[in-house]
Structure 1
């Protein structure tokens, strides 16, 4: 695979199109797909560079699933075999014993012709990929893994609000989460114009929605906030310049910039973000967009830690629950990736 944050992409002649996840088995409480939620059985493979994978990293931490679901972090810069474990001693994942995530895909389906994407969940005993369904993984962590959640874990997908959450997430996905990619990988001016206009149309609607409420749905954090955050936190660092979504910066929208800082400063969000991985991946892997592979020095990250005053809107970040504890030893973001 040569570029693309998740490897799950296809190019038409003039427009970017994201492929559907090929391996969509679900890990559930009752194991109806043959994969029961069991502590220690599975390994979550992620890249801190990838927004889709970062959703799973945040969810796992908020829900306190670190002991139940181990995590492998791939090198942000891929080679021709895609995601690799060169950050680990000997270039092998210490649990799965493999050098490339592609090996788990091959164990599941020999000669699978599609891209190798993250997030991915691998069955540790067999070494086989279980799922790469990035849209479903986090929802199942919230609803099917409840027996393994930490005490005080928030309800990220409350049943009474799911219709509203689903509607908000669908709108964000089409024009923003995926819209930045359609703008960045457009091969024709009209396709770029349409995608970029959609990105900022969506941002304007979100700014209006969040002007008088702290969170997207209800007064607590939900899956919708996680999905918006992983795009916003990358906006000025890569999408504004690299993907040409440059009508405005995130920092120029008073509401969204304060909202993003509020989440960044909430335990479980900013402490999972690695700006070094994000920038090196996008600028060094997408050689069709950035053939020099030069990684820019900016933007200045210090603003992420400035006061946001969003608490004045009320809201209870974790509902009836509590914040997660400290980041697990060995999973801290290195200093160069933090503000």
Structure 2
């Protein structure tokens, strides 16, 4: 869990399980459809990357998914959305059990996304930056027909460079602001965040996507922070120079992605708000979950098609999500737009 440490700047624990699932099984875990279970929470921006990439690539059958509830405590994410409070495949109540099956002395962060080896019940990896890259590269034989190229060879160097600054300044930057333990560390994180958002806005003013003419891994990684910005980061994490909806280029860019199948239809705003405002009780000790913001704007025209580009390149949009993975309509902008 994340906590505020008085007088200290925020530092993320990035000691992940870096074992990989690869086509040749060189780490001991070969790609095998149906063998593994991707554990996520819709609340978590790092897990949401994996949810989006899996859906765009059509890996639903090859890599089944377990959805944990939006809240957790010091004992980890729990499967309280499932009947009896247990994941029906893994048979566990909390993700912690799969981490301890891998290492009984495990003392690092119990995070999502995590991929669990079903036969052993052990977590294989929670290395979230690598998980989505491996979905594109190692799981390619199991992509759906029409899957987009999210990590094309000719653009990988640029994608990696963009991903690094977006991670440092934006994805993790909002956390550095929100969990800052001193005025100085908060101010530094705040300035760094909005300086990068200004640079990204300038970059996207004349280009529909971050790298190249199509959606790539870079867009997925930026989107999962932007989609949480007004609902959570602006107020809860004090990232309040502007709302996303007050930054015209980034707001239109985010709506463009949101309205692309595979992006917005994976977003559960109810889970997002419940997680941040209930779990972070050192920041929000009352546990009051805000009723706003108005979500209907996510469905407004974005006008970004005028910049050209081909959202999914030579690919096609994914079909509807499987019924068990469909976000409840009441947790989406559709409810706001029709109320």
After TM superposition, the score normalised by the length of structure 2 is: 0.96
Aligned-residue CA RMSD (Å): 1.1
**Which residues of 2 match residues 104-143 of structure 1 at below 5 A?**
104-143=98-137
1:214-233 Cα deviation digits (max 9, x unpaired): 00000000000000000000
Runs of 4+ that moved beyond 6 A: none
Are residue 88 (structure 1) and residue 82 (structure 2) matched? yes
Give how far 1:114 is off: 1.3
SS of 1:46's partner is strand
Partner of 2:325: 331
Deviation at 1:82, TM superposition (A): 1.3
Instruction: Note the alpha carbon deviations across 1:190-212, whole angstroms, 9 max, x for none.
Output: 00000000110010000000001
Q: Which residue, out of 269, 276, 295, partners 2:263?
A: 269
Paired position in structure 2 for 1:145: 139
SS in 1 for 2:167: helix
Q: Does 1:294 align with 2:315?
A: no
Residues 11, 17 of structure 1: 8 Å contact kept: no
Q: Distance in 1 between matches of 2:208 and 2:42?
A: 26
Is the counterpart of residue 321 in structure 1 residue 315 in structure 2? yes
1:72 is matched with: 66
Output aligned runs, 1:85-234, within 5 Å.
85-234=79-228
- Tell me the residue number matched to 1:28: 22
Q: Deviations over 1:269-295 (max 9, x none)?
A: 000000000000000000010000100
Residues 32-83 of structure 1: per-residue CA shift (max 9 Å, x gap): 1011111000000001000000000000000000000010111111133110
1:10–1:19 Cα contact (<8 Å) kept: no
Counterparts of residues 302-321 of structure 1 (less than 5 Å): 302-321=296-315
How many positions carry a matched residue from both structures? 333
Which consecutive unaligned segments of at least 5 residues does structure 2 have? 334-339
Q: Is the 8 A contact 1:261 1:306 kept in 2?
A: yes
Deviation for aligned residue 1:22: 2.7
In the other structure, the counterpart of 1:259 is 253
Q: By how many angstroms is 1:119 displaced?
A: 0.4
Once the two structures are TM-superposed, the CA of residue 12 in structure 1 deviates from its matched residue by: 8.2
CA distance in 1 between counterparts of 2:60 and 2:53 reads: 10
State the distance in 2 between where 1:81 and 1:12 align: 23
Structure 1: gaps spanning 5 or more residues: none
